[in-house]
Each structure stands twice: as C-alpha cells, then as structure tokens.
C-alpha cells in the first residue's frame, strides 16, 4: 500500500459530547493549519454517552459555519442518519453547503442507531429491516440528486420528483458508513467511499470480504474512523489516557483505558507503536484515517498526531 500522508487523514469530532459550535469551527481551522485533509463531525441530537444537559450543537448548521470559516480542508458529517431529514431536503442542504465551500463537502450517510435521540425529538425509530429499506431508498435518491441534479423516484418509504439546485462546483463524494452487511453492500455498490468504525481485525476482514464482493471491481475507497491515543513516550501516553477518562467521568486507570481501546481495534501507543498499527491497517486495505478526537482541548496530542503522520507512516 502507498504511504499515508497527512492529506489522507482527518480529525473526527463528537460535538454532542459537550462542544459548542464555535469550538467546532476553532478545531476545523486548527486542523486545516496543521495540514489535515479532513474535518468530520458526528450528526447526533443528544449526547451518546447517556449524559444530558450539555451542549450538543446541530450538525448541518455547524458544517455551514465550517464551510465559511475554512479554505482548503475537506469536511462533512460522519454520518448523517437518514431518519432525521427527508432525503431530498438533505441532498439540497448538502449541495448548498458544498457550493458555499467551493466543493469541499464529503457527504457521509448512515442508517442511524441511537434510539434515544429519535424518541426525544419525535422521530420514528423503526426496526432494523425497515431502517435498512429507508436507507437504500434514500441513498438512491441522494446520489441521483447530488450527482445528476435530479431524482424521479417512487418507493415504499420516499417519493421524490425534483431538481437539486444550486448545483455544486465539483463532484461531491458520497460516503456510506456502517458495519452491518446491508450497509457494507450498499457502500460497495453505490458509494465513493466506505467508512468503517474501528473493529477487531477479524471482524474487519469479514466486513471487507462482503464489501469486495459487492463492489465487483468498482473503485471505492476504504476509510476508518475511531478513537486514538498517542504519546511521545509511555508516560505521556498514559497521561493522555487518564485525561480522556476524566473527561467522561470514568474512574479508570490509564492501562485499562488503553486496553479497552486496543481490544476494539483502535490505534493506541507511543509514536513507534502508533506507526506500526497504522501500517497494519493500511496493509489490510484502509486508505484514509479519520481520528476521533474525544478530548479536543488536548491540542498537544492533536499536534503530535499531525507531526507523527508528517514524519511518515
């Protein structure tokens, strides 16, 4: 596999866990200054760790702010659940933001999973089979609108007969994020990129087998999103792990934090260990990495991440 450069990597934020919209813009500008190719943020309406009463800024309004506040970095949701917005409306929102940014939006889509936020905001949360059916129809509609500028579609869940204007400058890349077989197959058949959340290697290999069968030779990029922890040495690594545990009110020793993340397949370690783990993932087919930054105020670790990637992976 080709070496991974900083332009192949991005910062992934979880603003529902207590960031402000201004914080998102600030990190986006910082990521751009550090040379990262991408800035993604989750699309959640409530904190996903069970807490309540903390800031959870809405995704697409902050993406518009990022579009207006940056110049070169690619950005987008990771991922926007179909259940929150009618697909024709979502496509129009995406085309508008893409145009505003000069063609830098990456549109990542998913079927949705966090039932509590659906219920809290009055959205139906059907069973998995129904959500997959909705996702397939929505993906077809959105791809037609953002790629061709028009959709004429009558399905079980959605009906759309409209143009999508303004037309964005440049092709908008459509990403499908997911681990279930239906979403992985949809990525292989339709998307420009499949994004998978970090997983143990054997699980990833099985998902990739499904993906490769579905894409039938199509060129579809593979990217990975997930948490990371990095330190120049073991002591710094453990300090960063402890800071992350404190952020979420977890009374866990650093070694336990690191073990739990590594068991999930996340990249964690000193600089040399980090490089080796990334190389192992690229050997397995991962072409881009979107590093989930759970403690964005720990800017020194983000800067170390950028320095480590620039020095060569």
CATH number at residue 272: 3.20.20.30
Domain count for the chain, please give it.
Answer: 1
- Reference 98, options 167, 201, 9, 185; nearest CA is 167
Secondary structure of residue 196 in the 3-state scheme:
strand
Q: Is 278 contained in some domain?
A: yes
Q: What is the pLDDT of residue 308?
A: 97
pLDDT of residue 250: 87
> Is residue 1 included in any domain, yes or no?
no
Q: What percentage of residues in the chain have a pLDDT greater than 70?
A: 99
Domain with 273, as residue range(s), is 6-310
| Residue 3 confidence (pLDDT) | 83
pLDDT band at 251 (very low <50, low <70, confident <90, very high): confident
Residue 235 CB burial class (10 angstroms; 0-12, 13-18, ≥19): exposed
| H-type alpha helices, 114-253 | 115-120, 128-148, 181-190, 201-215, 234-247
Q: Is residue 37 assigned to a domain?
A: yes
Q: Per residue in 94-138, pLDDT tens? A: 999 999 999 999 999 999 999 999 999 999 999 999 999 999 999
Work out the average pLDDT over 43-57: 93
pLDDT tens digits, one per residue of 170-208 = 889 999 999 999 999 999 999 999 999 999 999 999 999
Q: How far apart are the first and last CA of the chain?
A: 11
| Within-domain flag for 65 | yes
How confident is the model over 57-69, as a mean pLDDT?
98
Which distant-in-sequence residues (6+ apart) come within 8 Å of 136 by Cβ?
182, 186
Residue 119 has a pLDDT of 96
- Inform me whether the pLDDT recorded for 164 exceeds 80: yes
The answer for residues whose C-beta is within 8 angstroms of residue 32's C-beta and 6 or more apart is 39, 70, 71, 72, 73
Nearest to 268 by CA among 249, 292, 297: 292
Residue 166 has a pLDDT of: 82
CA 1 to chain centroid: 22
């Amino acid at each position: 596999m080709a070496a991974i450069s900083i332009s192949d990597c991005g910062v992934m934020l979880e603003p529902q866990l207590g960031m402000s919209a201004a914080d998102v813009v600030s990190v986006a500008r910082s990521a751009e200054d550090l040379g990262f190719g991408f800035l993604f943020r989750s699309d959640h309406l409530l904190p996903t760790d069970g807490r309540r009463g903390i800031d959870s800024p809405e995704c697409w309004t902050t993406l518009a702010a990022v579009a207006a506040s940056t110049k070169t970095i690619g950005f987008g949701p990771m991922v926007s659940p179909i259940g929150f917005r009618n697909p024709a409306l979502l496509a129009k929102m995406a085309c508008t933001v893409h145009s505003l940014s000069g063609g830098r939006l990456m549109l990542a889509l998913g079927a949705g999973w966090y039932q509590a936020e659906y219920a809290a905001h009055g959205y139906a949360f059907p069973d998995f089979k129904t959500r997959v059916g909705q996702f397939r129809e929505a993906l077809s509609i959105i791809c037609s609108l953002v790629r061709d500028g028009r959709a004429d579609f009558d399905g079980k869940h959605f009906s759309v007969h409209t143009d999508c204007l303004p037309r964005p400058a440049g092709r908008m890349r459509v990403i499908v994020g997911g681990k279930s077989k239906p979403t992985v197959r949809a990525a292989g058949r339709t998307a420009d990129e499949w994004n998978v959340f970090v997983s143990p290697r054997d699980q990833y290999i099985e998902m990739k087998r499904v993906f490769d069968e579905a894409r039938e030779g199509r060129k579809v990029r593979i990217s990975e999103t997930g948490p990371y922890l990095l330190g120049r040495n073991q002591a710094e690594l453990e300090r960063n792990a402890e800071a992350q545990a404190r952020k979420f009110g977890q009374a866990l020793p650093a070694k336990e934090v690191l073990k739990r993340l590594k068991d999930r397949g996340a990249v964690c370690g000193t600089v040399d260990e980090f490089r080796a783990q990334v190389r192992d993932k690229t050997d397995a087919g991962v072409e881009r990495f979107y590093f989930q930054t759970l403690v964005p105020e720990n800017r020194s670790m983000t800067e170390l991440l950028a320095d480590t990637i620039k020095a060569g992976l």
